[in-house]
Amino acid sequence: MSPITILIVDDHPLFRTGIRWALEQIPDFQIVGEAGDGSEALRLADECEPDVILIDLSLPGMNGLEVARALKRRHPQAGVVILTMHQDDEQLFNAIRAGAAAYCTKDVEPSALTEIIMRVARGEYLINEMVLSRPFVASRVLDQFRELSRMDRSSTGFFSPLTPREIEILDCVARGHSNKEIAQLLNISDQTVKNHITSILRKLAVNDRTQAVLYALKHGWIKLDEQHVPVTESSTQTAFQLPWREQNGRR
């Protein structure tokens, strides 16, 4: 089994040394580079193509979120973990928009960080789980859904790479249905639903179901009615609980 390759991006050499030492104790991990700023991070990522990139939120020049966005554009397959001194709902929301797979504080225990890296390397988006405990962030993302659903649908006539069935499934995802519920609604198997979702992510070149829904809303392929996304704590949790979480590493 190939090791998980990791790039560390932080402007404090002492912190980089400490985190490198901790991670090098894990047999399945391989540190392929260290960077102190965004420019160096982009250069090393192009050179090493790491599986996981740890990025400090506070970097000189380009901040961590700007670096994350640039890296995800250039290396969409890489999992980005944002490291920060303090939890902040606004920054968490921005990290989701930047495509980060995880968001944690720098005082995270080495064992917990090891687990985060392993799950991110498997393609999981742990950051989506945090939405459940952050009503402010959930409301912001739901607001973004509604804003996109109100946009001019002039692009509706453009070519969609998705089949009618895939659009139907993505519409169900946007309305908060689990894979099992979608299978029941469409009278197909759970595995068929999973296969369609995998195909959707591949065709749209996105990393998870959240990004796929936003992409489809923006292009007018699906429409999320106001009545389907009421912003209350209970309904927010219902809307995000299954579509936004990769259960056991499966889409």
Instruction: Check residue 235 and give its pLDDT.
Output: 35
- Do the beta carbons of residue 149 and residue 225 sit within 8 Å? yes
* pLDDT score, position 238: 35
Q: For residue 102, give the nearest of 89, 92, 90, 110 by alpha carbon.
A: 92
**91: number of CA atoms within 13 Å, CB side?**
19
Please give the pLDDT value at position 249.
Answer: 40
- Mean pLDDT, rounded, of the chain: 78
- In whole angstroms, what is the distance from residue 184 CA to residue 188 CA? 7
Return the amino acid letter for 98.
Answer: A
Residue with tokens 């921005």: 94
Q: Which two tokens stand for residue 4?
A: 């998980």
Specify whether the CB–CB gap between 194 and 188 falls below 8 A: no
pTM of the model as a whole: 0.60
Domains and CATH numbers, the chain: 4-123 (3.40.50.2300), 135-249 (1.10.10.10)
CB 95 within 8 A of CB 137: no
For residue 203, the SS3 value is helix
pLDDT of residue 250: 39
Which pLDDT score is estimated for 212?
A: 81
Q: What is the pLDDT of residue 117?
A: 96
pLDDT tens digits for range 61-83: 889 999 998 998 888 889 999 99
Between the two ends of the chain, the Cα-to-Cα distance in Å is 22
Residues 206-235 pLDDT 10s: 777 777 888 777 766 776 554 444 333 333
**Cα Dmax for the chain:** 56
Distance CA 154, CA 157 (A): 7
* Residues in the chain where the model's pLDDT stays below 50: 148-149, 151-158, 226-251
Closest C-alpha to 66, from 89, 32, 74? 74
List Cα–Cα distances, 211 to 33, 82, 100, 102, 205, in angstroms: 29, 18, 11, 15, 9
- pLDDT for the residue 194: 87
Adjacent-strand bridge partners of 79:
52
